[in-house]
Structure 1
């Protein structure tokens, strides 16, 4: 499979999709269609099957909004950090729930302590 980088730029109601490797240009009504339109353009230009073409669509500016790729990278990094923090918090809650069970604290009360339902407290104890 051949993979191409393409750049989508908003112009009016359309997305202009540039394929730099082929000096090509196509358009799409919706950004979600940009990849399909680019693949079809590339396949037609190179006279190959659409199934043989992959694309990576990038949007870096829309009007006055610049640095979209950099901002998206930062958002992805923050989400990964948040997922790691959530895992750590769940592990800590599970550990605390297990220690409370060892002290014969009822699941409903453990749920109250942790700010979760007694069902969730049971899940944490069972981990």
Structure 2
């Protein structure tokens, strides 16, 4: 596996990409309009540089890590935001699991969907989905 590190920095509405990795004597450069296009753009550049097709087995081993340059304060804010979002996803998954379990137990006690919905704070349609899941 060949690992390539791509430093991405904003420049006049584009992301300027600097690629470093094995087989490159010096960094290669390209650009992408959007950050989500960076990896594909780098793969294209590497395919040309190493004279291989994108479907070549060698290209399949390229691991490309794009590192945006944001400045310390903004990078910290972005990292914290991603951390909070991961925690929110975990809590949401836990809430769904607990809701499903409680809905099943309430349903087993013979309660109708509307009553289960009131107890759990969800609609009776959501109760149907919880019981079906």
Q: Give the TM-score taking structure 1 as reference length.
A: 0.73
Partners of 1:58 and 1:69 within 8 A in 2:
no
- Runs (4+) of structure 1 exceeding 6 A deviation are none
Unaligned runs of 5+ in 2: none
The C-alpha deviation readout for 1:10-61, integer Å capped at 9, x for no partner, is 1112221101233111122333332232222222222233344332222132
Specify the alignment match of 1:119 in structure 2.
Answer: 125
Q: Give the TM-score taking structure 2 as reference length.
A: 0.70
Distance (whole Å) between structure 2 residues aligned to residue 32 and residue 84 of structure 1: 25
- Aligned-residue offset at 1:67: 5.5
- Partner of 2:29: helix, strand, or coil? strand
Q: Does 1:44 align with 2:48?
A: yes
- Partner of 1:50: helix, strand, or coil? coil
Give 2:66's match in structure 1, choosing from 34, 47, 57: 57
**1:33-112, aligned counterparts within 5 Å?**
33-51=37-55, 52-53=58-59, 54=62, 55-61=64-70, 65-66=71-72, 70-112=76-118
Distance (whole Å) between structure 1 residues aligned to residue 41 and residue 130 of structure 2: 48
Q: Does 1:32 align with 2:36?
A: yes
- Deviates most, 17-26 or 72-81: 72-81
Unaligned runs of 5+ in 1: none
Compared with structure 1, are the counterparts of its residues 99 and 72 closer, same or farther at alpha carbon in structure 2 (3 Å cutoff)?
same
